[in-house]
Amino acid sequence: MVAAFFIPVVFMGWKTVIIGSECTVSLTLNRMKITIGNQYQNIPLTDLNTVIFSHDKTVITIPVLSKLVENNICVIICNSKNDPIGIFQPFNNHSLVFKQLNKQINWKVTRKKHLWKHIVEQKIQSELDILKLLDIRDENAIMLKTYRDSVYNDDQTNREAVSARLYFSILFGKEFTREEPTAVNYALNYGYKIIASYISKCIAARGLLTQLGIHHIGESNPFNLTYDFIEPFRSIVDAWVYLYIQETFTVKHKKELIDILLAKVSVDGKWLRLSFAIEKIIDSYIAYLNEGTESFPLLELTQGIQLYGEE
């Protein structure tokens, strides 16, 4: 844990560090050194999973940034409002980079379309699970089951978007829209970015490019594959926001939401940290695309979500 004198620099959970004050971050003996005035804290790079730079007067040296990226440590940069706006990731640190990239480029269209169908079905099922978990009852929820059961390959009828609109209206009220500048939307966007950053890290660690998606194909989007793979996990953030956000979304909330990756969820009947669950499920997606498997782990949110510190 960070020493008491380092109160402005917040350590959040297992292997995640938030740099939330004016300080200098440098490299010393394969450790990240955080210096405020004449006091400092050294954190071994091997103890780090994610570093979030969340203060606009933090000074970061090139050597420490290089080492963080080389070690595939997720580096998230926030703006002056403490909102994540970008991540650093290595060009590719997989030992068989060309082999992996060649596989990705040659993924069969039929497999990509079928996987997207499965992802959309799992996303809608996760939405249903969250409504049940939160004991939210609405007569329109039956339509979500209809949408889940009528997804075509590549989601040709756009059940993903239709179900999302209905789901959000049930969860947050009929007047709710994702475009409004509200605390709920700010919190949703923040949580999604935290999960997306981790998924991007996982994709890069497996020698793949986040730019080459299976469904999202935006030419200006460097994270197409990330936002293909994130869909079944969004509802975990939705549940957190439903429970903890009303009129405001504060810095305290943001620090708490960072720990969402440390929550435990049930996958195939086993409780896993969300970070591990993400890796397990992403590995199954990649294996399917590489024609190595025909099955996928089952994310079972009706079993509950155990937040970090509440297990």
pLDDT value at position 259? 86
pLDDT at 175: 93
First-to-last alpha carbon distance for the chain, in angstroms, is 20
Coil, strand or helix: which one is 95? coil
Nearest to 271 by CA among 240, 303, 239: 303
Q: Which residues pair with 26 in a beta bridge?
A: 33
- Residues 121 and 130: their CA atoms lie apart, in Å, by 14
Residues 6 or more apart in contact with residue 259 via CB below 8 angstroms: 12, 13, 16, 307, 308, 309
Dihedral sign of CA atoms 131, 132, 138, 139 in order:
positive
Specify whether the CB–CB gap between 51 and 76 falls below 8 A. Answer: yes
pLDDT confidence of residue 192: 95
Closest CA to 207 of 78, 308, 98: 98
The Cα–Cα gap between 20 and 51 comes to 11
Helix (H, G, I), strand (E, B) or coil at 208: coil
Residues of the chain with pLDDT under 50: 1-13
Q: How many C-beta neighbours within 10 Å does residue 256 have?
A: 17
Strands 59-60 and 24-28, how do they pair?
A: parallel
- Cβ burial 115-137 (10 Å sphere, 16+ → b, else e): bbbbbbbbbbbbbbbbbeeeeee
What is the spatial distance between Cα 52 and Cα 58, in angstroms, rounded to a whole number? 11
Helix (H, G, I), strand (E, B) or coil at 94: coil
Q: Tell me the domains of the chain and their CATH numbers.
A: 4-88 (3.100.10.20), 97-303 (1.20.120.920)
- Say if CB 55 and CB 81 are below 8 A apart: no
User: Quick one: pLDDT at residue 55?
Assistant: 86
Q: Rounded to whole angstroms, how far apart are CA atoms 73 and 51?
A: 7
- Stated pTM of the model: 0.83
Each residue's pLDDT tens digit, 217-270: 877 788 899 999 999 999 999 999 999 999 999 988 988 888 899 899 999 999
Residue 193: name the closest of 300, 105, 86 by CA.
86
Q: What is the pLDDT of residue 86?
A: 82
